[in-house]
Amino acid sequence: MSPSGELARLLVRDLAQLVSPAGTDAPLRGHALGEVAVVEDAYLLCEEGRIGAVGRMRDLRPLDGEVEELDGRGLCALPGLVDCHTHACFVGDRVQEFELRAIGASYEELHAAGGGILATVEATRAAGEDGLRAAVRRHDDWMLRAGTTTFESKSGYGLDRETELASLRAIVAEGGVPTWLGAHAVPPEFEDADAYLDFALAEVLPEAAGVAEAADVFLERGAFTAEQARRYLVACRDAGLGLRLHGDQFTEAGAVPLAVELDARSVDHLEATGSEGIRTLADSEVVGVFLPVAALVLGRPMPPARALVDAGAAVALATDFNPGSAFCESLPLVCSLACTQLRLSPAEALSASTVNAAHVLRRADRIGRLAPGYRADAVLLDAPDWRYLAYHVGGQVVKTVLREGRVA
Ligand code: NIG
Ligand code: FE
């Protein structure tokens, strides 16, 4: 705020480059996914939390009134990154499990033995709502430092009424986009998945639907079957929620056809998706979300990203930030993996982690681009070329982050 109480204007001047996904469409597919507009020697003007103008320095007209200035020399501006798939509402860690996996145990074995997700459920249930808020705040701070200005977070480590609802409220309170992952695992107090779903749909959904924007399910061997997922998702859709699925992570168990049948917003993971799934997804409106850190950490094959993009699928990238399979909040690292493991171009990776991720969250009209009228969320890279975002693997590329026109 300026002394007069007005929202200050901020001018970022003399940027080496300013980059944004081209056009105004969402989601971007095919060729358009890799089309970005790059302005050299650029400025970015933020006004009242939104982008007022972008362009070349030589076209910048004199501004009257109060304007704060930020020196962009040697920096590149890109849209604030959008993480459309995280599990940021958890307490405790699974570093012990990380060590066991390092010496040979598998993720599915640990899960079947009551570790994995259920170990985090125990810690999360014990935290209380203030503890959950503190955890989400800490994780948001990590994500922000890595350039994420909008994050989605799932619940799913409560799996009882009180903790699921408290998780969703904590996510909203800390500025996240809440997804009810009511079908993440079957908690120990239930005999089987069907008995748990009876409870979740009768006792948790009515209130969860008033807080969350979407619902998600882990459709996988050892978690929920396609039939159980359908029952859960149909009930959630009837309660007004958008639909997401964790699918084809280890096995193809029907997630892609179910996502298309139910007009889901996305199906995420896709490490095990085969040629029929690729065609089905590419011909649909469902976004395929790649989570390459989970594949890397668990030593799984990478998803068939190049084939999906070439077939015309709408795709996005996300971290899957969670304490088990992807303890990583960095979308720049995800972009590095996209370019080195998924065979996407830097421009495709940028669009997939900005405008297309925003589309999954139904916010592509407001975030994901550096263009007039969009929210003034931006990342300033300490780099002479915007492609350092993916090129500098694990590097400290993010220098400054702007959220709604203010240095965050
Ligand atoms: O997306 N696949 C299930 N859920 C998470 C992992 C959660 C955990 O291990 O705690 C995932 O990878
Ligand atoms: Fe996940």
Closest ligand to residue 318's CA: 2
Q: 246 CB less than 6 Å from ligand 1?
A: yes
Cα-to-centroid distance, 153 and ligand 2 (Å): 9
> Which residue owns the Cα nearest ligand 1 atom 2?
218
Cα-to-centroid distance, 3 and ligand 1 (Å): 47
Question: CA–CA separation, 369 vs 34, rounded Å?
Answer: 14
Q: Which residues pair with 246 in a beta bridge?
A: 218, 268
Cα-to-centroid distance, 331 and ligand 2 (Å): 15
Q: 328 CB less than 6 Å from ligand 1?
A: no
Neighbouring C-beta atoms of residue 135, cutoff 10 Å: 22
Q: Alpha-carbon torsion 9, 14, 16, 19, what sign? A: positive
Cα-to-centroid distance, 87 and ligand 2 (Å): 6
Q: Please, what is the angle between helix 117-125 and helix 161-173, to 10°?
A: 80
- Give the pLDDT score at 6: 53
Cα-to-centroid distance, 376 and ligand 1 (Å): 32
Q: Which residues pair with 317 in a beta bridge?
A: 290
Query: Which atom of ligand 1 is least distant from the CA of 185?
Result: 3
Residue type for position 278 = I
Which residue among 246, 290, 296, 319 has the greatest number of ligand 1 atoms within 8 angstroms of its CB, and so is best to mutate? 246
Query: Please, is 12 exposed, middle or buried when counting C-beta atoms within 10 Å of its C-beta (0-12, 13-18, 19+)?
Result: buried
What's the maximum distance between 2 C-alpha atoms anywhere in the chain? 70
Q: 156 CB less than 6 Å from ligand 1?
A: no
Neighbouring C-beta atoms of residue 254, cutoff 10 Å: 19
Q: What is the mean pLDDT of each run of 10 residues along the chain (408 residues)?
A: 63 98 96 98 98 98 94 98 99 94 89 87 97 98 98 98 98 98 97 98 98 98 96 98 98 98 98 98 98 97 98 98 98 98 98 98 98 98 98 97 97
- Count Cβ neighbours within 10 Å for each residue of 104-122 and write b for 16 or more, e otherwise: eeebbebbeeebbbbbbbe
- Give the pLDDT score at 5: 47
- Give the pLDDT score at 108: 84
pTM given for the model: 0.97
- Which pairing describes strands 378-381 and 315-317: parallel, antiparallel, or unpaired? unpaired
Q: Alpha-carbon torsion 287, 293, 299, 304, what sign? A: positive
Cα-to-centroid distance, 124 and ligand 2 (Å): 16
- Give the pLDDT score at 187: 96
Question: CA–CA separation, 261 vs 210, rounded Å?
Answer: 24
Q: What is the 3-state secondary structure (H, E, C) of the chain?
A: CCCCCCCCEEEEEEEEEEEEECCCCCCCCHHHHCCEEEEEEEEEEEECCEEEEEEEHHHCCCCCCCEEEEECCCCEEEECEEECCCCCCCCCCCHHHHHHHHCCCCHHHHHHCCCCHHHHHHHHHCCHHHHHHHHHHHHHHHHHHCCEEEEEEECCCCCCHHHHHHHHHHHHHCCCEEEEEEECCCCCCCCCHHHHHHHHHHHHHHHHCCCCCEEEEEECCCCECHHHHHHHHHHHHHCCCEEEEEECCCCCCCHHHHHHHCCCCEEEECCCCCHHHHHHHHCCCCEEEECHHHHHHHCCCCCCHHHHHHCCCCEEECCCCCCCCCCCCCHHHHHHHHHHCCCCCHHHHHHHCCHHHHHHCCCCCCCCCCCCCCECCEEEECCCCCCHHHHCCCCCCEEEEEECCEEC
Q: 378 CB less than 6 Å from ligand 1?
A: no
Closest ligand to residue 184's CA: 1
Q: Give the distance from CA 171 to its chain's centroid.
A: 14
Query: Which atom of ligand 1 is least distant from the CA of 181?
Result: 4
Q: Residue 361: which residues within 8 A CB-CB, separation 6 or more?
A: 82, 84, 150, 152, 177, 213
Pair 153, 136: CB distance under 8 Å: yes
